[in-house]
Structure 1
């Protein structure tokens, strides 16, 4: 039996270090992504127009909790993201596509490959879900709405010949 004041053994420390590294990666993803977003001429104004300068730290903390819940199953986020996004007004397909175009490379540069792939797939599904929900709330017929284009790097065509 270990004493409470003893340092954890290597087996106990490894999961905590891995979780800490994973949380650090998520923190980096969120902060780098929103740095890029705020500078983007197409979608930056959507964010800066709805999030006050002094509210960004809280928003970034919420986004870290959200992605921690998605990627690590941490259960740190217990919210409902859609209602806040419904109040934004019309977000165009071009803006959703730009959000994804900015997110994908930041995820790939910041997260280990398997987590980056999971984050990208989740972001793509979330973008489609939000698009459909926002259009439905505006009274649009969404039955013919197609998903945004995917950037599937896991598939390549078979070799010719």
Structure 2
């Protein structure tokens, strides 16, 4: 028995969004140089990210990465980078998908992005003293 998809997207739609998004990332004045320092094979990266999203949305089990660790180990990814990343992703979703599918995927991306941002923020912006509970 298979689990129904979280969002009613096709594999082709996911791959198209990833491809369009990373074309925009490469042109972005702030995010482009950061990605360029870490991504040496764009088709391979896009395939890996498409697998991530197919796992998150379609429940395929073909992604085994650790996005939190990758973003934290990059060294130059900062909390303030997530807002422009999400804005660009939202723009890509709106241009590429029907409105209802774009909105559903955007909500998921914002939840995942908030978790990644908090992890990066906690690592990079540690202050002396007790932790601040939010």
TM-score using structure 1 length: 0.68
Ranges in structure 1 where 5+ consecutive residues have no aligned partner = 1-18, 146-161
Ranges in structure 2 where 5+ consecutive residues have no aligned partner = 1-7
Deviation readout 1:80-100 (Å, 9 max, x if unpaired)? 211111112243444211101
More helix by share: 2
Structure 1 stretches of at least 4 aligned residues deviating more than 6 Å after TM superposition: none
Larger radius of gyration: 1
- Asked whether 1:47 is paired with 2:25, we answer no
Q: Structure 1 residues 144, 101: CA separation in 2 closer, same or farther (over 3 Å shift)?
A: farther
SS at match of 2:77: coil
Aligned residues: 124
1:87 matched to which residue of 2? Answer: 73
Q: CA RMSD in A?
A: 2.2
Q: Structure 1 residues 119, 143: CA separation in 2 closer, same or farther (over 3 Å shift)?
A: farther
| 1:109 aligns with one of 89, 95, 99 | 95
- Asked whether 1:118 is paired with 2:107, we answer no
CA contact (8 A) 1:100 1:123 kept: yes
| Cα displacement (A) at 1:139 | 5.5
CA distance in 2, matches of 1:66, 1:49: 21
TM-score using structure 2 length: 0.80
